[in-house]
Structure 1
Amino acid sequence: MIHMIKLCVGIASVEELESYRDERAHWWDADYGEDVHVHRTRMMPKRRAEMEGVSSIYWVIAGAVACRQPILRLAPYTNAEGKNYCDIIMAPTLVRTVPYPKRPFQGWRYLRPEDAPPDLEAGANENSAELAAELARMGLI
C-alpha cells in the first residue's frame, strides 16, 4: 500500500475544502456519483493497483498536511483535445490529521504509510488542530 500527498492549491483551511468538495466533479464534467469528491490531475500513478480502495490522499493546506481523504479509485480521463488525465475519486469524508509541516512541491507525490501523519482523535476541534500544528512546528510531535 502507498498513499498520495498533494498541495491543496487555493484553499486556506480544511473548512474551505469541505465547503465545496462536492462541486469539483461538476466543474470537469465528471459524473462518478453523488457521494464522491473528484480531483483531476495530469499523471496516473504507476502504483495505482496499490492505492485503489486502500490508500488516502493527504492534503497539504497552508504549508502543512492537514487532512486526508480515502481514495476509492483512480480513473483515466481524456478531454476533447485528446489530453489524458487521472481523476482521483475519493470518499467525501475529510479526516483531520496531526498537522505536519510540508514545503511546496509540484504535482503529487507518493507517501509511505510510515511517513503519513496520524489522524487527530475523534472529537478534535479547530483549537486542537491549531495546538497540534504549533507543537509540530516546534518539533514536539
Structure 2
Amino acid sequence: MPLHLIKLCVGCDSVDDLKSWVSARLKEKKRRGQTPEHIHTTRMVPKRMDELLDGGSLYWVIKGQVMCRERILDLRPFVDKDGIGRCRIVLDGKIKLVAPRPYRAFQGWRYLTDAEAPADLDRTGRGAATMPEQMRRELSELGLL
C-alpha cells in the first residue's frame, strides 16, 4: 500500500497558480536543454522511501486546504554545498485535483497514509472537477463536497 507526503504549497494562492508555476519551470528546463522534470527540494530525507515510491503522491495544501496531488516518481538524497543533507522529490508534473479538505499549517512535510488521503476529485461527485476552485472550497467547508 502506498504512502504519501503532504506539504504546504507556499506562495501559491490556487491550484492554477501551482499549475502555471510547474509549467513555466518545465518549459525553462526544456529551453536550457535540461531534463524537463518537476523537482521539489526538501531539507529532510524521508526514511520510508520504499513505501513512497510504491505509488505515493505529494499532496499540496493551498490556502489551508488539501487541493491537489502529484505522483512521486523518485527520491534523490544529496548533500548541499554547506554539507546539509537534502532530498529532491521528483514529481510527475501532472497535478490531479482531490476532494478539498481543511489542513492546518505545519513546517516541512508529513506522511499521509493511503486511507487518510483525500479521494481524487473525479471520484467524489459528478461535475466536481469542473467547478471553480472557490466553489469547491466553500462546498467543502459546508461539508457538501
1:139 to 134, 139, 143: 143
Aligned length: 135
Aligned-partner SS, 1:12? coil
Q: Where do 1:80-91 residues align within 5 Å?
A: 80-91=81-92
Instruction: Check if 1:125 corresponds to 2:127.
Output: no
Query: Structure 1 107/73 Cα, relative in aligned 2: closer, same or farther at 3 Å?
Result: same
- Tell me whether 1:95 sits opposite 2:99 in the alignment: no
Moved over 6 A (4+): none
Is contact 1:53–1:73 with CA below 8 Å preserved after alignment?
Answer: no
The 1:103–1:10 alpha-carbon spacing in structure 2 relative to 1, beyond 3 Å, is: same
Q: Which runs of 5 or more residues in structure 1 are unaligned? A: none
Give the match for residue 33 of structure 1: 35
The C-alpha deviation readout for 1:21-71, integer Å capped at 9, x for no partner, is: 1528x79xxx9821x211000111110111115100000001100100000
Q: Percent identity?
A: 41
Instruction: Name the SS for the 2:115 alignment partner.
Output: helix
**Could you tell me which residue of structure 2 aligns to residue 68 of structure 1?**
69
Q: Distance in 2 between matches of 1:131 and 1:14?
A: 13
Task: Summarize deviations over 1:98-141 as a string: whole Å, max 9, x none.
Answer: 110110011100001111111111872242x4333223212344
The farther-off stretch of 77-86 and 15-24 is 15-24
Structure 2: how far apart are the matches of 1:49 and 1:140? 36
Q: CA RMSD in A?
A: 2.3
TM-score, normalized by length of structure 1?
Answer: 0.85
Structure 2 gaps of 5+ residues are none
Q: Which amino acid aligns with 1:125?
A: T
